[in-house]
């Protein structure tokens, strides 16, 4: 089968591609780079107006004439690549706005790629109309919108995906859902809002290429190393402020037993290596399930503080604090869990082994690729 994967977030489509290729399928990825993360892309769509003078010119044109130069540039490249983007059996878009363009341009690009190929599918693995609407209606106990709604973060409003609630993006959502064969969720956070939707095909856990992520058994020689990776743009959205507060609490009484390593906005290749020596990794707070950073760290045998809510425990039929640590939006609660691990280091080794086994069982990139093929074929 010839498959086109449109867009890239956190290496999801790269891992899926690697699994599909192991099953002898022909796969290409078309996407711009995911921010500062330089994931592999077969057909690279270059963003030319992201900084410096060019960005200022783009912003001025948009302010004066409502003309988005970057969207025009992206659409132009898509048209130029028509021959490379045509005649696929299956096309999967990673998001309702896979290229970060205006809704009008996203619609044009979606229609072009759809018209050049056969069956079209959509992933729900990041903010989109349905997930943001569900969170905005306070249907979760807490969500990625919590820092925004609490008034903590007003600097990076774009990070919360509120644009998907605007009339133009809502219209784009409706248009896409009329065309696609179905939508697939990548984890519990997107599965819950999509339940009972007529186009929902089901949940396929994020694919992880375990061949690229070597597991090292936990060795505790001196201090327990706690790693905190910060994406400056998503600082509050990921709950980094709460993690820092929790670390300050723990460091007061346990500074002689821990080493805290903090990095900010590293490119993917550097980030994945930066926490190699760590025993514990602080990932994100406002989630029910694990995202890519957490899953890859778990595959390497780290004890990860991340989304591991009751809904996730129930879905996989597992016990609390055996695979990952649920990071609640409460610094004292997180500090308490960290202290529990520091005082019971044997638990770090136990959870480390369990985490790797969990990834191999539920997130292996080849079995994940098989699940995608099954859902695609059923829908076709």
Query: Pick from 263, 200, 207: which is nearest to 230 by CA?
Result: 263
Q: What pLDDT score was predicted for residue 157?
A: 73
Q: What pLDDT score was predicted for residue 16?
A: 98
- Average pLDDT rounded to a whole number, residues 120-148: 95
Distance between CA atoms of 297 and 268, rounded to whole angstroms? 12
Q: How many CB atoms lie within 10 A of CB 12?
A: 25
Domains and CATH numbers, the chain: 2-207+364-379 (3.40.50.2000), 211-362 (3.40.50.2000)
Q: What pLDDT score was predicted for residue 53?
A: 80
- Exposed / middle / buried, residue 24 (Cβ in 10 Å: 0-12, 13-18, 19+): exposed
Does the pLDDT of residue 161 top 70, yes or no?
Answer: yes
Q: What is the phi-psi region of residue 80: left when phi exceeds 0, alpha when psi lies from -120 to 50, beta otherwise?
A: alpha
- Average pLDDT rounded to a whole number, residues 232-236: 88
Q: What pLDDT score was predicted for residue 220?
A: 85
User: Which has the higher per-residue pLDDT, 91 or 273?
Assistant: 91
Does the pLDDT of residue 229 top 70, yes or no?
Answer: yes
Residue 29: strand pairing partners: 5
Asked if residues 103 and 171 have their Cβ atoms less than 8 Å apart, the reply is yes
Distance between CA atoms of 152 and 139, rounded to whole angstroms? 20
Does the pLDDT of residue 12 top 80, yes or no?
Answer: yes
DSSP state of 34: B
Q: What pLDDT score was predicted for residue 303?
A: 98
User: Which has the higher per-residue pLDDT, 35 or 368?
Assistant: 368
Q: What pLDDT score was predicted for residue 35?
A: 55
User: Which has the higher per-residue pLDDT, 220 or 174?
Assistant: 174
What confidence tier does 38 reach under pLDDT thresholds 50, 70, 90?
Answer: low
Does the pLDDT of residue 34 top 60, yes or no?
Answer: no
- Average pLDDT rounded to a whole number, residues 11-26: 97
Q: What pLDDT score was predicted for residue 168?
A: 97
How does strand 26-31 pair with strand 200-203?
Answer: unpaired
Asked if residues 185 and 312 have their Cβ atoms less than 8 Å apart, the reply is no
The two structure tokens encoding residue 232 = 């400056």
Does the pLDDT of residue 36 top 60, yes or no?
Answer: no
Q: What pLDDT score was predicted for residue 317?
A: 97
DSSP state of 224: E
Q: How many CB atoms lie within 10 A of CB 36?
A: 13
Q: What pLDDT score was predicted for residue 20?
A: 98
Does the pLDDT of residue 159 top 80, yes or no?
Answer: no
Tell me the per-residue pLDDT of 274-288, one tens digit each, with 9 for 90 and over: 899 999 999 999 999
What confidence tier does 73 reach under pLDDT thresholds 50, 70, 90?
Answer: very high
Distance between CA atoms of 250 and 213, rounded to whole angstroms? 30
Asked if residues 307 and 288 have their Cβ atoms less than 8 Å apart, the reply is yes
Does the pLDDT of residue 100 top 80, yes or no?
Answer: yes
CA dihedral 138, 139, 145, 151 (to 10 degrees): 20
Does the pLDDT of residue 201 top 70, yes or no?
Answer: yes
Residue 359 phi, psi dihedral angles, 5° rounding:
-60, -45
Question: What's the mean pLDDT when you consider all of the chain?
Answer: 93
What confidence tier does 25 reach under pLDDT thresholds 50, 70, 90?
Answer: very high
């Amino acid at each position: 089968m010839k498959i086109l994967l449109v867009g890239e977030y956190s290496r999801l489509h790269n891992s899926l591609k690697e699994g599909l290729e192991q099953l002898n399928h022909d796969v290409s990825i078309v996407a711009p780079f995911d921010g500062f993360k330089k994931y592999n892309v077969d057909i690279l769509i270059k963003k030319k107006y992201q900084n410096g003078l060019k960005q200022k010119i783009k912003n001025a044109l948009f302010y004066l004439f409502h003309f988005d130069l970057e969207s025009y540039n992206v659409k132009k490249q898509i048209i130029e690549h028509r021959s490379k983007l045509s005649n696929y059996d299956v096309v999967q878009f990673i998001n309702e706005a896979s290229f970060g363009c205006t809704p009008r341009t996203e619609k044009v690009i979606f229609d072009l790629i759809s018209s050049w190929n056969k069956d079209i599918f959509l992933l729900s693995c990041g903010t989109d109309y349905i997930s943001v609407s569900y969170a905005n209606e306070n249907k979760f106990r807490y969500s990625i919108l919590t820092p925004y709604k609490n008034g903590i973060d007003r600097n990076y409003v774009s990070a919360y995906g509120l644009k998907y609630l605007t009339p133009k993006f809502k219209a784009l959502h409706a248009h896409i859902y009329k065309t696609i064969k179905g939508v697939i969720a990548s984890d519990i956070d997107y599965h819950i809002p999509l339940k009972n939707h007529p186009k929902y095909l089901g949940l396929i856990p994020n694919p992880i290429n375990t061949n690229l992520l070597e597991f090292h058994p936990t060795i505790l020689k001196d201090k327990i190393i706690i790693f905190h990776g910060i994406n400056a743009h998503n600082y509050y959205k990921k709950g980094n402020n709460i993690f820092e507060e929790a670390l300050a609490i723990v460091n007061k009484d346990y500074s002689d037993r821990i080493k805290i390593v903090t990095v900010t906005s590293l490119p993917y290749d550097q980030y994945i290596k930066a926490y190699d020596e760590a025993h514990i990794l602080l990932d994100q707070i406002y989630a029910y399930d694990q995202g890519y950073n957490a899953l890859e760290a778990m595959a390497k045998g780290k004890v990860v503080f991340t989304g591991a809510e009751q809904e996730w425990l129930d879905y996989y039929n597992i016990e609390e604090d055996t695979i990952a640590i649920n990071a609640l939006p409460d610094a004292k609660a997180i500090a308490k869990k960290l202290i529990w691990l520091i005082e019971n280091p044997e638990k770090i080794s136990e959870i480390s082994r369990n985490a790797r086994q969990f990834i191999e069982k539920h997130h292996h990139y080849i079995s994940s690729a098989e699940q995608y093929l099954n859902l695609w074929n059923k829908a076709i």
